[in-house]
A and B are shown apart, each in its own frame.
Chain A
Amino acid sequence: MHSSANALCKLYLSVIDDVIENVRETFLDEGVEESVLNELRQLWVSKVMQSKAVEGFRKDTINPSNFVLQLPANYTQTLQKQSASIILPPGQNVQNYTAKASGAGAVTTFSLPPGVTYPVHIPAGVTLQTASGHFYKVNVPVVVTQAPRSNRVFTQPAAQRAPPRLPPPQPDPSQARPTIQQAPTQTSNPKSTPAASSSTASGTQPDGQASQPPQEPPAPVDDIQQAPVPQSAPPPPPVSPQPVPESPGDFTLEGIEFSPHPEGTLKQEQGQLLACEVGEGASNSLDTPEKEVKEEAPDGLPVSDGTAFSSLGSQLDEAIKMELLRDFNYSGLEDIVQLDGAGDGSSEDEDVDIGGPVGENDFLGMISAEALHVLEEAGGSDDGSSTSSSDIEKQEIIEELDPLNSGDDVSEQDIPDLFDTENVIVCQYEKIHRSKNRWKFNLRDGVMCYGGKDYVFSRAIGEAEW
């Protein structure tokens, strides 16, 4: 289900992108600034996210390329799907990276090579190069995973990390923030402290730091299992000023902060941060205003176009949120039942109560002649040749004008409760058939909102009883 949810996210994002692109010219013609258009886009994406109609955007899943790990040439990944972890041999130099223009400045983008799935193990010693060209050396093995409800979770193999990583699990968000913030600090002061210790220290330090309130993945935090950082992780690399509240893109892995080195030189420092540009749409669960900005950022990621990330500090927050959501969605997706395709039985359920009768209204289509015949037979059936009915017709029109207000008591059919759920399917129909009170639907190319979530299908078959 992950794939379908992510495909849905992609689809929605692509729709949004398409529309925005198409109206861009119009906007410009009208003399409206592009910033307005961008804002519109952010609002749109954030609303889609917020509506929870979609399982949030898992940036990584949607577009692994968003997170580009530039691996050394001799890097060989063992790509295993699902829970496979990708081991990055140390010493690899990242090659490919997605260059992303960021308004604020260089944003470190980490794009996993296509096919890379989480969790990703980054052994110590790996040199990562961000899109901006900064090099980051991973001194401590890092595991980038996706925790439910949490942004990218970067866990570090316990063994490697000197101090137990942050207690972060609980105060993750806060920790994350502080961590992030910490990072910048660290970044600014290149540390020469020994790797482990410094990282540890830095890791712990963040606690004291002001957390970044903006991103608050409320629930997700809990789920993060070792993911304290994840929330903060996504924030754009320190290099980019995006996360204003936090240090630019400081990325904390399991409490270990990697400070991105502004210059693309290899750093041995402990505090190197892995800047991770949050790609895909922010988590829908996050509702802060920053989300909007962040939302925009992810847009670019999935498309891996290098959508410009504004250097708004909120971007970081958004990134964090997105990460959170992504992870959240990741796990949450497992609960989703595939409803489209041949196995589509859900549509009928809703349709029976809501979509069915109402759905007919949507179609305004012609029911096949056979259905009509069926209806007529059902309605007036006598065994076929009832010529008598025609004989009976007389033109007696009796003028009774009974006031219909006496019909007040007559109305009030119990229909309202049937429409509580508001499940809707918007689609095209191939064939709708009815026999007495049995309905059969052949639908195509539609979007279904069921239980608040959106599902997209190219074909749907349903049956219902009215």
Chain B
Amino acid sequence: MDPGNDVALDIIITNVVATFRTRCHLNLRTIALEGLNVIYKPEFGKVLMKLRKPKITASIWSSGKIICTGATSEEDAKAGARRLARVLQKLGFKVRFSAFKVVNVLAVCSLPFQVHLIQFTKNNRPIASYEPELHPAASYRIKQLRATIQIFSTGSITLTGPDVQTVATAVEQIYPLLFECRKIKH
């Protein structure tokens, strides 16, 4: 069981969440009335604006904070955020693109083997937790990386972390642990 003996695992990034600030107050009503592809949610005090390319949904608050979700890569997220800021600028707001930060990256990965969750949880007692009655996956937190991994018995795992690099590192860290507890089919 050589963890180094790695197959190329496909880590697919499914979602990148980023935030940025426009440094100016935004009139949500104006955006809602004049913007294209917007959904106004007055009860939440925000406007959703969807971009087609890159495929991004942005939540816009009147304070000027914008959360951008749905991107598939960090670059995409940034490009989408800038495009969004440009749209707001065209609507007439004095937008300054600032404080862009990728906040969350969500990735999925499929391991080539199934995992024995109970054994895995026993081996990694405090860090891993598994409550089958609550959720069918075991969750494993890597504090240093601030990453969380959810492991399913089928061998699929989902990872969330503050950036893509962290996620990749997390996969590498968890792989050997999972490899130990794999289910071997006869």
Using CB atoms and an 8 Å cutoff, list the residues of chain A in contact with chain B: 357-358, 360-361, 364-367, 372, 375, 378-389, 391-394, 396-402, 404, 406-408, 410-411, 413-415, 434, 466
Determine whether B148 belongs to the interface, using a CB cutoff of 8 Å to chain A. yes
Assess the A366–B41 pair: CB atoms within 8 A.
yes
Question: With A358-B36, A383-B137, A401-B98 in contact, do A392 and B82 touch (Cβ < 8 Å)?
Answer: no
Please classify how large the interface on chain B is, using the bins under 10, 10 to 19, 20 to 34, 35 or more. 35 or more
In angstroms, Cα B163 to Cα A394, docked, is: 13
CB atoms of B69 and A379 under 8 A apart: yes
Smallest Cβ-Cβ distance to A399: which chain B residue: B98
Is B40 part of the binding interface, using a Cβ–Cβ cutoff of 8 Å? yes
Q: Which residues of A contact B34 (CB under 8 A)?
A: 361
| Contact present for A392 and B97 (CB under 8 Å) | no
Whether A361 lies near B35 (C-beta < 8 A) is yes
A19 to B185, CA, bound (A): 81
In contact, A357 and B148 (Cβ under 8 angstroms): no
Which residues 50-87 of B sit at the A interface, judged by CB distance below 8 A? 50-53, 57, 59, 69-70, 79, 82-83, 85-87
Contacts of A399 on B, CB cut-off 8 Å?
98-99
Q: A361-B35, A404-B96 are in contact. Are A388 and B148 (CB under 8 A)?
A: yes
Contact: B57 with A379, CB < 8 Å? Answer: yes
A78 vs chain B, min Cβ distance (A): 58
Q: Are A388 and B147 in contact (CB under 8 A)?
A: yes
Contact A378 B41, beta carbon cutoff 8 Å? no
Task: Contact check, B21 vs A357: say whether CB atoms are below 8 A apart.
Answer: no
| B68 nearest in chain A by CB position | A379
Complex-state Cα separation, A66 to B165, whole angstroms: 80
With A408-B86, A410-B86 as given contacts, are A388 and B32 in contact (CB-CB < 8 Å)?
Answer: no
Beta-carbon contact of A383 and B158 below 8 Å = yes
Alpha-carbon distance A408/B89, docked complex (angstroms): 10
Contact call B101/A389, Cβ cutoff below 8 A: no
Query: Of B44, B69, B97, which contacts A404 at CB under 8 A?
Result: B97
Q: Contact at B21–A397, with CB atoms within 8 Å?
A: yes
Q: Does the CB pair B103–A392 fall under 8 Å?
A: yes
Minimum Cβ distance to chain B for residue A466 (Å): 7
* Closest A residue to B139 using CB positions: A385
Give 24 pairs: A residue, B residue, CB < 8 Å, sorted on A. A360-B37, A360-B38, A361-B34, A364-B32, A367-B41, A372-B41, A372-B44, A375-B57, A379-B57, A380-B106, A382-B150, A388-B161, A391-B146, A393-B103, A397-B99, A400-B98, A404-B95, A407-B82, A407-B89, A408-B86, A410-B79, A411-B86, A411-B90, A466-B37
Answer whether residue B43 sits at the interface, using C-beta atoms and an 8 A cutoff: yes
Q: B16-47: which have CB < 8 Å to A?
A: 17, 21, 29, 32-44
Are the CB atoms of B70 and A378 closer together than 8 Å? yes
Bound-state Cα–Cα, A381 to B70, Å: 9
Chain B window 149-181, contacts with chain A (Cβ cutoff 8 Å), 1 for yes, 0 for no: 010000000101110000000000000000000
How far, in angstroms, from A400 to B147 measured CA to CA in the complex? 26
Chain B residue with minimal CB distance to A381? B15
Q: Nearest Cβ in chain A — how far from B22, in angstroms?
A: 10
Q: Are B86 and A360 in contact (CB under 8 A)?
A: no
| Any A CB within 8 A of the CB of B135 | yes
B41 touches A357 (CB 8 A): no
B41 A388 Cβ-Cβ under 8 A: no
Is B183's beta carbon under 8 Å from chain A?
Answer: no
Asked if A382 and B158 make an inter-chain contact with CB atoms under 8 angstroms apart, the answer reads yes
Across the interface, which residues of B come within 8 angstroms of A415, CB to CB? 36-37, 52
Distance (whole angstroms) from the CB of A367 to the closest CB of chain B: 6
**Contact among A361, A366, A398 for B38, CB-based, below 8 A:** A361
Q: Give bound CA distance, A391 to B40, whole Å.
A: 28
Interface flag for B100 (CB, 8 Å) = yes
Separation in Å of the A56 CB from the closest CB of chain B?
Answer: 34
B65 nearest CB across to chain A (Å): 10
- B115 to A: closest C-beta gap in Å: 16
Tell me if B97 and A407 are in contact (CB < 8 A): yes
Give the complex CA separation of A398 and B100 in angstroms. 7
Contact B90 A388 (CB under 8 A): no
Residues of B contacting A396 with CB < 8 Å? 101
| With A381-B15, A400-B98, A400-B99: A388-B37 Cβ-Cβ less than 8 Å | no
Contact of A360 among B39, B79, B90, B160 (CB under 8 A): B39
Who on chain A is nearest to B88 by CB? A404
What is the bound-complex CA distance between A414 and B96, given in angstroms?
A: 24
With both beta carbons as reference points, the residue of chain B lying nearest to A364 in the complex is identified as B40
Q: Does B117 contact A (CB under 8 A)?
A: no
Bound: A415/B51 CA distance, A: 10
- Interface pairs A-B: 3 shortest CB-CB: A388-B148, A379-B69, A357-B37
